[in-house]
A and B are shown apart, each in its own frame.
Chain A
Amino acid sequence: MMKTLTPTADRDLPTGRHHRRRQHLLAEVATPTASWQASRRLALGAGLAFAVLLVLMVGLPGDRSVAPAAADVDPIDVDGISYIAVTFTAYGEDTSAVEADLIALGLDITIDLVPASPTLVGELVSFDASQPLDGAWDGDYTKDGVLYLPASYGGTMHLRVGRPTEPGEAYVSAADPLAPGEALHCTDLIGMPVAEATLVLTEAGLEPEWRIDDKVIEAPDADTFVEAVASTSPTSVIVWTATRRALTLPDPTCGPS
């Protein structure tokens, strides 16, 4: 696996680039107000102006190219910790109204909504944070589609939250397709002979891309079994096959078969 995941050796920067990158970097940081930090402020200002412009455009008749996202944003306490609870009610591309609500509550947070599989809609799929989250955030940030942001957080943060896909769109983030609420829940696909699996996938409306390890194959051998599966869109999955049948345990969320 190590070899599969790390197929290349480390390399140096191309000849002369280390020195030049270093030179440019030091020149950049030596003049913070004139360049790097100033450009961030300018970019932020320009971004806010652009967001306002987008909101205005969305309001114009006949131009609905950037749909607004909407969310309920409420301060709450859970186990003595103060959070801002965010529940998305609409999943447009323009998140500026939600961000403005968060700013009003003291959180400097930007949000992207990314196409995600059903159970990740409304869930936080990744984030960048400028400061440590000092234990208020325990690694599981969402519950039942509600996003809990620590109210005391003083840094900046960029969140990516799952949204439903548009027609033809691929997932940016997908949960285990066999999990409750996902496309292949209770199908017992793992360990299934590929012929039987093909029928299950067809019935579920899913187009498989067959693979052995990281190699895509035209069609699986008839005497192979499903080893693993991952969702790539509402209509497609990657299915890994193996010659040995995987040992599986009954899924307790599926009841007696």
Chain B
Amino acid sequence: MTEPTDRQLWAQVAADDSEAFGVVFDRHARPIYNFCFRRCGSWTDAEDLMSIVFLEAWRRRDVGLEADTVLPWLYGIATNVTRNYQRTLRRHRRALNRLSPDVVQADPADHVAERLDDEAAVGRVLTALSNIPSLERDVLALVVWADLTYQQTADALGIPIGTVRSRLNRARSRLGLEIQTNPTRAEGTA
């Protein structure tokens, strides 16, 4: 049996089908979780932020899905949610208290030590990026971390594709480093 596409699922979600929303969650929770982690530097906060992204997606479920995949749109929400994430977490604390799983004993399979190393490594990257304007940082994060095309990045942020290019160029020159993007992907369309 063929799996439903995101577009088909989202049509069901728009009709208040929470089970279809669960399937969307199963498909895209992992990339959103990892994107949130790279934006905030904490695996624990990334879990909460991921939940907020999906809650916000549910709240906006009546938007028409233009593309075949919902993921770039979710990345756009994740960008907004993580931009000032501590404030976001404060604002959503009440919902998060209901959403957060109880504290459980860490499982050896969760690679706790490696996760701590991840947090230190991402913390260094975030420090380096903290000195470029947030609008440029958003573009950089979507292109490099979410691997979105320029067009998908433009759609996710609601800005023209030319603005994506110029912000990425400015970020590149501010960082004084070469930002490698796959030209085929970067110039492709959604």
Contacts and interface: CB of A to CB of B under 8 A. Distances in A.
Interface of A: 1-2, 4-8, 10-18, 20-22, 24-26, 28-30, 35-37, 39-40, 43, 112, 120, 125-126, 128-133, 137-140, 158, 160, 172-176, 211, 213-214, 227-228, 230-232, 238, 240, 242, 246
B67 interface: no
A140 B111 CA distance: 44
B149 interface: no
Interface string B118-138: 100110110111111111001
A16 to B, nearest CB: 7
Contact of B99 (A6, A21, A175): A21
Interface string B91-123: 100110011110010110111000100100110
Given A6-B145, A39-B94, A130-B60, A21 B47 contact: yes
B159 interface: yes
Contacts of B75: none
Given A25-B25, A30-B18, A126-B135, A139 B163 contact: yes
Contacts of A12: 30
Contacts, number: 172
Contact of A1 (B131, B174, B177): B177
Contacts of B160: 138-139
B38 A17 contact: no
Nearest to B80: A128
Name B's interface SS.
Answer: helix
Contacts of B91: 43
16 contacts: A2-B144, A7-B118, A7-B125, A10-B34, A11-B37, A12-B30, A22-B22, A28-B95, A28-B98, A35-B95, A35-B98, A43-B94, A126-B135, A132-B158, A140-B163, A176-B170
B135 A125 contact: yes
A133 B60 CA distance: 15
Contact of A175 (B22, B58, B133): B133
Nearest to A215: B124
Given A18-B29, A172-B134, 6 more contacts: A2-B180, A14-B107, A25-B25, A126-B84, A129-B158, A137-B158
Nearest to B154: A139
B179 interface: yes
Nearest to B54: A25
A25 B51 contact: yes
Nearest to B128: A214
The 8 A-B pairs of least Cβ separation, nearest first, read: A228-B176, A230-B131, A139-B163, A128-B80, A7-B121, A20-B101, A15-B107, A8-B118
Contacts of B60: 130
Nearest to B117: A8
A5 B168 CA distance: 14
A213 B129 CA distance: 12
